[in-house]
Structure 1
Amino acid sequence: MSKYYPDISHHHTVADWKEVEKNCPFLITKATQGTSFVDSAMEGIVRQCEKRGISYWLYAYLNKGDELAQARFLVKTCKDKVGEYFMGYILDVEAGNSASGVQKAMDYLKTLNEKMMIYTMYAQYDKYKNIIAARPSRCAWWEARYGLNNGKYSSSYPCHAGADLHQYTSDGTCPGFGEKIDLNRITGQGKDETWFAVPQNKKPDKPEGEDNVKYFSTIKKQTVSNITEFLHNRGFGAGEKNMSRIAAENCQSKEVRSALFELAKQGKLIKPSGLNKREETEEKS
């Protein structure tokens, strides 16, 4: 089966999320621009990705000038909206931004715990090459070069050597989308699909039969106060069916909900397969 790596914004409509889930290991979507614009589609896309287990990246289109303030606005806007499948932040550098301004924005993102990316245009490589070369190992370089821009990648129009992700068309097609969209390819020059689809502090799942125990993500900060809120925050129901499955994998305490919440806070709550999604099968709490 072919895999697709699209980047989208409010200009693109997801026609079938099941197709996206099946064909796209991760999504890249616009979050902000400047210090006031928030993409209208961002929150809905984040909710769907969290619900369906699709890894996602959020980017800021950097207007020219005060790039640091724009990076801060990106994080301030998104930090309370992201969840388990959030990968990291991206700086979209294509508005003739100064190298010094971009460096300040990069230095700010370096202080965070997530992975990150910098997006540049092929023709502007010389302007930002020093920043690209000095990027940390947890930062990918994403470069745009279209060539014929006919929806297909052509080796006659490669990206620069060292680019990790190559945006090769704005005229692509992808299952689940009704219109033409940007498509990318992983170059294999340093970072593989796992790097782009597995969050910084999460280990890839082992193959079946190799101690493949899955855990719920830990609570990064105290935003929930009980197991029901914890599960709802991750898109799952907390009714009798789900709680029975989770308890069977974790504990048989008389105070089962309190015990499960303690495990959740420690990152030790085993995640059984076949749990009901709250949005699809509403259960009584």
Structure 2
Amino acid sequence: MSKYYPDISHHEKVTDWNKVIKACPFIITKATQGLTFIDPLLGTVIKECEKRKKPYWLYAYLNSGKELAQAKFLVETCRERVGKYFVGYILDVECKEGNNVAGVRDALKYISNLGYKSMIYTMYAQYTRYKSVIDKRPKNCAWWEARYGKNNGTYSKKYPAHKGVDFHQFTERGSCPGMSGEIDLNRLTGTKAESWFTDPKISNEKTKYPGTFPALPPRGYYQCGDGYETMKDYTTQIRRVQKLLNWVMDADIKVDGKYGVDTAALETKLQKKYGLPVNGKFGDKSLAVCKKVKK
């Protein structure tokens, strides 16, 4: 039997919960929007999922502005309603006016520190706007992205989600057993297994850097000026240095392939933190330290 990964709200009509539960490994439903709206279907979904032991997620559609307050309204609304099979909260970041990036970051940090898993939902066309939030999302947070392509109810390889997306909404015109009308459908597309979306437990196991480690040049290190005054052919490797330093040091320097004063300053902080010779140059000792860091 095929598996279905729908997300629903009061706009969709469930006609047979037995069929829905059998076809869907987990359910995603809207809980709130803004600071006052509570979805009329929320209570029913929670009740049916808890009764039938089906994992479920709850999301808030974020209006523009006061994103943290909206996230808190989501949690306040759901805290006393959820039960054993609740997996986590989701922030739906897609309003046409655009959300405040710093506000989204604060809201995501808030829902990710409550002991549950979390997700952030963004539109394909708005990737650049929210890239900084997506790239620095918490470990227990998945990235959910919408890209429809032809939007005809089926997935087309011609319209993939961005690299790194964990969950891809590929149509708003799909169908699902036990539901009437057109339904949003999704597919698993990242490194997270289905079990990650169905198991409420959060792994506390620390992991090493998930990106690509930089290759050092023949002289054995990078220094200020590289990538734009000297060693102009090493911009790709310097970007990898910058991404790595950002991850290890929880920083946010610009990743531009230019080893400038900001990169050198961050490298200096790393050297001081880990007891290395302080010179602002990224070399084999810094690389070795970074390869051992787990978060």
Alignment TM-score, normalising by the size of structure 2: 0.67
CA separation in 2, counterparts of 1:3 and 1:75? 29
- Where does the alignment leave 5 or more consecutive residues of structure 2 unmatched? 204-295
Give 2:5's aligned residue: 5
Secondary structure at 1:142's aligned position in 2? strand
Q: TM-score, normalised by structure 1?
A: 0.69
Q: Which amino acid aligns with 2:78?
A: C
Q: Secondary structure at the match of 1:81?
A: coil
Ranges of 4+ aligned residues in structure 1 off by more than 6 Å: none
What amino acid does structure 2 have at the position aligned with 1:104?
Answer: D
- Do residues 32 (structure 1) and 32 (structure 2) align? yes
What is the match of residue 122 of structure 1?
124
* 8 Å Cα contact 2:124-2:162 kept in structure 1: yes
Residue 148 in structure 1 maps to residue 150 in structure 2: yes
Partners of 2:129 and 2:50 in 1: CA distance:
37
- For the aligned residue pairs, the C-alpha RMSD in angstroms reads 1.0
Matches within 5 A, 1:1-285: 1-95=1-95, 96-187=98-189, 189-200=190-201
Name the amino acid aligned to 1:158.
Answer: P
Post-superposition Cα deviations, 1:215-264, rounded to whole Å, max 9, x if no partner, equal: xxxxxxxxxxxxxxxxxxxxxxxxxxxxxxxxxxxxxxxxxxxxxxxxxx
Tell whether the 8 Å contact from 2:26 to 2:56 is kept in structure 1 after alignment: yes
Q: SS at the partner of 1:148?
A: coil
Give the Cα separation in 2 of the matches to 1:111 and 1:170: 31
CA deviation string 1:134-176 (max 9, x = no partner): 1122100000000000000000000000000000000000101
For the pair shown, the structure with the greater C-alpha radius of gyration is 2
1:10 deviates by 0.4
What amino acid does structure 2 have at the position aligned with 1:75? V
Aligned residues: 201
Contact kept in structure 1, 2:71 and 2:111, CA below 8 Å? yes
**SS at 2:179's partner residue?**
coil
SS in 2 for 1:154: coil
Offset, 1:201: 5.2
Partner Cα distance (2:137, 2:105) in 1: 10
Quote the Cα distance in structure 2 between the aligned partners of 1:151 and 1:21: 20
Q: Distance in 1 between matches of 2:167 and 2:135?
A: 15
**1:80 is paired with a residue of what secondary structure?**
coil
Equivalent position of 1:226 in the other structure? none
Identity across matched positions, percent: 60
- Counterpart secondary structure, 1:112: coil
